[in-house]
Amino acid sequence: MIQVLESEFSRGVSSLDGLPDSELPEIAFVGRSNVGKSTLINRLTNRKNLARTSGTPGKTQELNFYSLTLRTEEEPKKLLHFVDLPGFGYAKFSKKKREYISRLTVEYVQQREQLRVICLLNDCRRVPEEDELALRELAFESGVHCLVVLTKFDKLKQSERAKLVNQISDAYGLEPQDLVRSGLKEPTQSLWERVLPLIEELD
């Protein structure tokens, strides 16, 4: 059983120069605008308002860092950072803003040694497009583990689930069991149990 003992917002940074001077492992959350990154962070930490959620896409425009203290079966006190990356694909952003967000994300993934795992969030009602596939390829090229997390899974009818999961997994070149389901009715322990061993692999 994994417990979050403490969690707090640490800082927001708009360039790599502002990244925290820390050796703690980092878990990044990335996906399209309004895919549910902040909601997932809040559920994983059992904090309703740790990451501010919004119905307006494009709310997150910086790298937002959150400090966590965990208790696991192996470690009574484990420290790490969550990093909420800006959402991509928001059409109302200017071209300059979209390029800035893309550049910030790419530079962070390529250069940040503390980054251990990327949780790539994909709305379970849509197959991945070029942005999602490119982000997963970037993670692979950068030597960073990438988990595909299906958000809003509870919004699917039971009869739709298998078909859509198969379509999404095929698009990523993965098996259905490789995808992590996430939704308001889905337990978060399964994601924690997938993420933490990947951190240990690189320690």
Q: What are the tens digits of pLDDT across the range 10-27?
A: 999 999 999 999 999 999
Question: How high is the pLDDT of residue 44?
Answer: 96
Bridge partners of 17, per DSSP, are none
Which among 54, 21, 50 has a CA at the least distance from the CA of 35? 54
39-60 pLDDT tens trace: 999 999 999 889 977 555 555 6
Asked whether 90 and 33 are in contact (CB, 8 A), the reply is yes
Q: Give Cα 144 to chain centroid, integer Å.
A: 13
Q: Is the pLDDT of residue 90 over 70?
A: no
Q: What is the DSSP string of 138-177?
A: HHHHTT-EEEEEEESGGGS-HHHHHHHHHHHHHHHT--GG
Mean of pLDDT over the chain: 90
- pTM of the predicted protein model: 0.91
How many CA within 13 A on the CB side of residue 92? 5
Task: Indicate if the pLDDT at residue 130 is higher than 80.
Answer: yes
Q: What are the structural domain ranges in the chain?
A: 3-196
Residue 154 pLDDT class (50, 70, 90 cuts): confident
Distance CA 6, CA 16 (A): 26
pLDDT at res. 89? 73
Mean pLDDT of 89-108: 78
Structure confidence at residue 98 (pLDDT)? 74
Instruction: Kindly report which listed range (35-39, 138-142, 186-190, 192-196) carries the lowest average pLDDT score.
Output: 186-190
Mean pLDDT of 64-83: 95
pLDDT of residue 102: 86
Q: DSSP secondary structure string, 76-99?
A: S-EEEEEEEPPPB--TTS-HHHHH
- CATH fold for the domain made of 3-196: Rossmann fold (3.40.50)
Q: Rounded to a whole number, what is the distance in angstroms from the first to the last CA of the chain? A: 21
pLDDT digits (tens, 9 = 90+) for 184-194: 767 789 999 99
> Is the torsion defined by CA of 131, 154, 45, 24 positive or negative?
negative
**Greater confidence, 38 or 98?**
38
